[in-house]
């Protein structure tokens, strides 16, 4: 198969693009769990092999640790947050101070 000389492959263009660096956003944390960012994504156009179509992530602003939770239904997000909260509060021996989500 031959392509015209001006052919642009979308994947190649994305791979060659550069990301902007992450600039400080005005908040300063001094310990883990002072600020946790959260996002819920979905519904995915294609189910995962395990049947998940929603995904929740939690990012600690101080450590930059990321926790990823696949969800089969959007309404499970509260239960997943509670599981995350118990896990990280035991892991870091501190309480989550604030959560930022969109």
Q: What is the CATH number of the domain that holds 58?
A: 3.30.420.10
Residue 31 is assigned to a structural domain of this protein: yes
The pTM of the full predicted model, rounded to 2 decimals, is 0.72
Q: How confident is the model at residue 18 (pLDDT cuts 50, 70, 90)?
A: low
**For residue 43, how many other CB atoms are within 10 A of its CB?**
12
Residue 50 has pLDDT above 60, yes or no: yes
User: What was the pLDDT predicted at 1?
Assistant: 54
Residue 49 is assigned to a structural domain of this protein: yes
CA distance 71 to 76: 7
**pLDDT tens-place string over residues 67-77:** 999 999 999 99
Residue 12 is assigned to a structural domain of this protein: no
Average of per-residue pLDDT across 22-47: 84
Residue 84 is assigned to a structural domain of this protein: yes
Residue 2 is assigned to a structural domain of this protein: no
User: What was the pLDDT predicted at 53?
Assistant: 93
**pLDDT tens-place string over residues 92-102:** 999 999 999 98
- Angle value at C-alpha 70, between 40 and 62, nearest 5 degrees: 60
Q: What are phi and psi of 80, to 5 degrees?
A: -65, -40
CA distance 62 to 68: 17
């Amino acid at each position: 198969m031959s392509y015209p000389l001006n052919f642009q492959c979308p994947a190649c263009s994305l791979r060659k693009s550069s990301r902007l660096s992450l600039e400080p956003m005005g908040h300063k944390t001094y310990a883990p769990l002072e600020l946790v960012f959260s996002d819920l994504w979905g519904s995915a156009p294609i189910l995962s092999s395990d049947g998940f179509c929603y995904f929740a992530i939690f990012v600690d602003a101080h450590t930059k640790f990321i926790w990823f939770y696949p969800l089969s239904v959007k309404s499970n997000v509260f239960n997943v947050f509670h599981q995350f909260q118990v896990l990280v509060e035991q892991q870091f021996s501190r309480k989550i101070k604030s959560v930022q989500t969109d």
